[in-house]
């Protein structure tokens, strides 16, 4: 019913790290049958990039109370705990869809 969920992937510069994270997120979610659209930005720009975003996945701290769920994780860079984080992302996206 709803269109693709949008994930904002955030890192320090919004270039290298977030691209890696976005690519892995898309791949892992696809394996679970979840199609998402990812956008990227640097931490300092987050507040201006929230339009239409369902979830933020970040490698670096972002401000509180953005009104969008935030998952801060390095799992997609280190491989440590990656599966759990993918589960968490999938869960958060589902919860968001019920609102």
Partner 1 sequence: MRFDEIVKEEFVFVKKNFKSNKETISFLSKQLQEKGFVKESFLEAVLKREKEHPTGLYLGKINVAIPHTDVKYVLKPGIAVATLKEPVAFGKMDEPEKKIPVHIVFLLAVQDPKGYVKFLAKLTRSFGSNLFISSIYSSESSEKLKSLLLEIFKEEGRQ
Other Cβ atoms closer than 10 A to 31: 9
Other Cβ atoms closer than 10 A to 33: 7
Q: Which two tokens stand for residue 45?
A: 């720009």
Query: Which residues within the stretch 79-98 sit at the binding site for partner 1 (CB under 8 A)?
Result: 79-80, 82
CA-based radius of gyration for the chain: 12
Question: Per CB under 8 A, which region of 1-9, 46-54, 68-76, 91-99 contacts partner 1?
Answer: 68-76
Task: Say how many CA atoms lie within 13 Å of 96 toward its Cβ.
Answer: 21
11 counts as catalytic: yes
Letters for 9-48 (x = contact with partner 1 by CB under 8 A, - = none) are --xxx-xxx-xx--xx------------------x-----
Residues of this chain that interact with partner 1 (CB under 8 A) are 11-13, 15-17, 19-20, 23-24, 43, 59-61, 72-74, 76-80, 82
């Amino acid at each position: 019913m709803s269109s693709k969920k949008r994930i904002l992937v955030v890192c320090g510069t919004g270039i290298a790290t977030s691209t890696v994270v976005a690519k892995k997120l898309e791949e892992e979610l696809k394996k679970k049958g979840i199609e998402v659209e990812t956008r990227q930005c640097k931490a300092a720009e987050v507040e201006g990039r929230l339009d239409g975003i369902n979830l933020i996945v970040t490698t670096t701290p972002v401000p509180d109370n953005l009104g969008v769920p935030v998952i801060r994780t390095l799992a997609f860079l280190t491989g440590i705990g990656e599966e759990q984080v993918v589960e968490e992302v999938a869960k958060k996206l589902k919860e968001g869809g019920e609102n």
